[in-house]
Chain A
Amino acid sequence: AQKVTQAQTEISVVEKEDVTLDCVYETRDTTYYLFWYKQPPSGELVFLIRRNSFDEQNEISGRYSWNFQKSTSSFNFTITASQVVDSAVYFCALSGVGTYKYIFGTGTRLKVLA
């Protein structure tokens, strides 16, 4: 069975602080894909990143970085020097080859205070 766990329900930080959002997943597939999405207060869902199970290289995009560790089944997301515009709900998602289910975690609400 597939499962995505985002244990942090809500995080509050002060602007310019670094923050890490945790994502732990479960799957029996050997090939699978992990994603992060952002849902700002306006409500739309915005794709941030996709990572396949064979690529454990960390990725950096501006102030965003992602750490994928198969050994701990985690795909964590770090925002460096957070800004108020980063305030949103962030979702981690998992899709497995063969099942084509696209499963989301419960989300982490990030509040960045000025």
Chain B
Amino acid sequence: DAGITQSPRYKITETGRQVTLMCHQTWSHSYMFWYRQDLGHGLRLIYYSAAADITDKGEVPDGYVVSRSKTENFPLTLESATRSQTSVYFCASTRDSNTEAFFGQGTRLTVV
């Protein structure tokens, strides 16, 4: 189906483990974003990308790594998960940098 999908929807992992959150969009949108949503902080930008092989740090990039080898995929990796990374993660894409963003359903990550 067309759209933007995230996987997994729910994930529980242990402190120190590496975990990758997947994001896939079918529109060939150039721009993709990763946000984390925490109570009291709204949506904070982790990383963003203007095209394949072009990524930039957002507001809270520490502890995260991204890659974008293909336009449609934008995986987010937590190299060594910490409890402070327990959050809901949203992936989004836009056709242009200033148009409506389309969001995935979110991934609820719990680090124990």
Residues of A within 8 A of B (CB): 6, 9, 32-33, 35, 37, 43-45, 47, 50, 52, 91, 93, 95, 97, 99-107
User: Which one of B41-49, B62-70, B75-83 contacts A?
Assistant: B41-49
Tally of A-B Cβ pairs under 8 angstroms: 63
Q: Are B98 and A107 in contact (CB under 8 A)?
A: no
Q: Are A102 and B48 in contact (CB under 8 A)?
A: yes
**14 cross-chain CB contacts under 8 A:** A9-B40, A43-B88, A50-B99, A50-B100, A95-B97, A100-B31, A102-B48, A102-B92, A102-B101, A104-B44, A104-B45, A105-B42, A106-B42, A107-B42
Q: Are B42 and A104 in contact (CB under 8 A)?
A: yes
Report if B94 contacts A (CB, 8 A): yes
Q: Are A104 and B100 in contact (CB under 8 A)?
A: no
Residue in contact with A95 in the complex, picked from B58, B88, B98, B106, CB distance below 8 Å: B98
Question: Lowest 3 CB-CB distances: which A-B pairs, in order?
Answer: A100-B97, A106-B42, A104-B43
Closest A residue, CB atoms, query B35:
A104
Residue in contact with A44 in the complex, picked from B35, B56, B103, CB distance below 8 Å: B103
Residue of A35, A43, A52, A105 with most chain B CB atoms under a 10 A cut-off: A43
Given contacts A44-B103, A100-B31, A102-B33, contact A52 B98 (CB under 8 A): yes
Inter-chain CA distance A50–B95, complex, in Å, is 14
Q: Are B97 and A102 in contact (CB under 8 A)?
A: yes
Residue of B35, B44, B101 with most chain A CB atoms under a 10 A cut-off: B101
Inter-chain CA distance A69–B100, complex, in Å, is 21
Chain A residues with Cβ under 8 A from B103's Cβ? 44-45
Q: B9 → chain A, closest Cβ, in Å?
A: 10
Given contacts A33-B98, A44-B105, contact A102 B45 (CB under 8 A): yes
Chain B residues with Cβ under 8 A from A99's Cβ? 97
